[in-house]
Structure 1
Amino acid sequence: MIGMVGMGLEDTVNEVEVAYFMSKKYQRNGYAKEAVNALVDWCFNVSDIKYLILTIDCANIPSCHLAEKCGFELFEKRTPKSHKQPNMESDSYFYYRRYRNLA
């Protein structure tokens, strides 16, 4: 498997979240950027959703760079008090948003 990209309802914030993973062998080839942008474009074309989110472990700097290359903007840093985000090393995560282009 090269990787995956998907989206779904993020239960803790009740917003639609994009998620992605790329196998080490295929990282840094532009595949994730292409897949994320295609999924986001599709979502905005078939729905009336105003924005999508990404939540990224603060320790995952390469993923933060990818999010920004895909047009997501850092909204805030969050530290959950009642639970820890699954699959994250640190207790905090960055919360990104990408808004629909209105032009």
Structure 2
Amino acid sequence: MGLEDTLNEVEVAYFMSEKYQHRGYTKKAVTALVNWCFQVSDVPYLILTIDCTNTPSCKLADNCGFELFEKRTSIGHIQPNMGSDSYYYYRIYRKG
């Protein structure tokens, strides 16, 4: 979790070893991190940026309560750790 340099918004990021995928660990970790962030800060929302080709990560984002905000195509800058030039931009808002 941290400030996404090109968007200037607080972003959650996750990576899981293939050995431990599909066991629910990432969902638990992301949910705990989101809850913690909203408890200790006053940010109104958090974001995820996911490569359009990463379908499993998009499914996880949905399962963690993030909402797809829009599909974006970078102009002159490719998002770090992404293979394609387009990505999905997700948000989750503070409750209440």
TM-score, shorter chain, exceeding 0.5: yes
The equivalent of 1:73 in structure 2 is: 67
Higher relative contact order (CA 8 A, sep 6+): 2
Q: Distance in 1 between matches of 2:28 and 2:10?
A: 19
Deviates more, 1:9-18 or 1:81-90: 81-90
Q: Deviations over 1:75-96 (max 9, x none)?
A: 0000010111121111100000
Of residues 39, 45, 53, the one that matches 1:59 is 53
More strand by share: 1
- Structure 1: tracts of 5 or more residues without a match: 1-6
Identical positions, percent: 74
Superposed CA deviations along residues 27-86 of structure 1, whole A, max 9, x for unmatched, are 000000000000000000011110000000000000000000000000000001011112
Query: Which of residues 79, 91, 99 in structure 1 aligns to 2:85?
Result: 91
Specify the code of the residue in structure 1 equivalent to 2:12: V
Taking only aligned residues, the RMSD between alpha carbons, in angstroms, comes to 0.5
The normalised TM-score by structure 2 is 0.98
2:24 paired residue number:
30
Amino acid at match of 1:59: T
Q: Moved runs in structure 1, 4+ residues, more than 2 A?
A: none
Gaps of 5+ in 2: none
State the number of aligned residues.
96
Q: What amino acid maps onto 1:12 in structure 2? A: T
Matches of 2:94 and 2:80, distance apart in 1: 28
